[in-house]
Amino acid sequence: MVRLQKFLADAGVASRRACEQIILEGRVAVNGQPARVLGTKLEPAHDQVTVDGKPVRPQRKLYLVLHKPKGCVCSRKDEHDRPTVYDLLPKEWAGVYTVGRLDYGSEGLLFLTNDGEFALRLTHPRYGVRKRYVATVEGKVTDEMLRKFTSGIQVEGERLKAERGWLVTATKAQSVVELELAEGKNREVRRLFESQGLVVRRLLRTQIGKIKLGELKPGRWRALTPGEIKTLLS
């Protein structure tokens, strides 16, 4: 027996949290009966599940790593008709969704999956999966700024914090900085620098957990190996 929200997430309907909302909205039925209660249990081999009247079946779990290029969004559809990361994938991977996001102007390591439990483990703050970024910043970044980042600062009522930070190069005109974050709040790296009056000109995510971007070229993808998946979940 498995919980309904886990079954839906494992089937690639959406992330676990999004599946819970779909259940609460009354869009899910089990054996023809509406299922609005979180935690409802079912037997995948025997019970029939539908979302919006369409059957949902278990599917092979997929785990992909993509080098997101600058100039595309992580949404499946964009109101401004900009390119999306899904345009970079073959049609047979249509059921995957991004694990977290990188904004339009950012680039680098991005996971996609149809496994809701995997996505939850990598994005929920309680698991503290660390992500590493290289930021090219206009202007000089000082050691004092990095100390503020690692101590934590308040920005618009929200606490932003880097776990580690170090200068790669720094001149009056431009600095290159590496930051390691545990939460990855919306635009967190850019907002940290903006709080010091600095603008990020390039932002590259190079690592999630122990998985590194490596030599993967922009716009290219590959499957995560079983060993890499195990490492991320351990």
Which of 78, 103, 115, 143 is an active site residue?
A: 103
pLDDT at 49: 95
pLDDT at 15: 81
Distance of CA 184 to the CA centre of its chain: 9
The span from the CA of 171 to the CA of 136, in Å, is: 11
pLDDT at 76: 87
In the numeric block, the tokens 């779909």 are attached to 22
pLDDT at 117: 84
pLDDT at 183: 86
pLDDT at 85: 97
Distance of CA 33 to the CA centre of its chain: 33
Domains present along the chain, CATH in parentheses: 2-56 (3.10.290.10), 63-125+211-233 (3.30.70.580), 130-208 (3.30.2350.10)
**What does the pLDDT look like over 172-228, one tens digit per residue?**
999 999 999 998 789 999 999 999 999 999 999 999 999 999 999 999 999 999 999
Q: What is the 3-state secondary structure (H, E, C) of the chain?
A: CEEHHHHHHHCCCCCHHHHHHHHHCCCEEECCEECCCCCCEECCCCCCEEECCEEECCCCCCEEEEEECCCCECCCCCCCCCCEHHHHCCHHHCCCEEECCCCCCCEEEEEEECCHHHHHHHHCHHHCCCEEEEEEEECCCCHHHHHHHHHCEEECCEEECCCEEEEEEECCCEEEEEEEECCCCCCHHHHHHHCCCCEEEEEEEEEECCEECCCCCCCCEEECCHHHHHHHHC
In one-letter notation, the amino acid at residue 45 is A
Distance of CA 164 to the CA centre of its chain: 20
Tens of pLDDT, residue by residue, the chain (234 residues): 889 998 998 787 888 888 999 999 999 999 999 999 998 998 888 899 999 999 998 778 899 999 999 999 999 888 899 999 999 999 888 889 999 999 999 999 999 998 888 998 999 888 989 999 999 999 999 999 999 999 999 999 999 999 999 999 999 999 999 999 998 789 999 999 999 999 999 999 999 999 999 999 999 999 999 999 999 998
Q: Annotated catalytic, 103?
A: yes
* Full-model pTM: 0.78
In one-letter notation, the amino acid at residue 76 is R
In one-letter notation, the amino acid at residue 206 is T
Contacts of 208 (CB under 8 A, 6+ apart): 109, 111, 122, 129, 130, 131, 132, 232
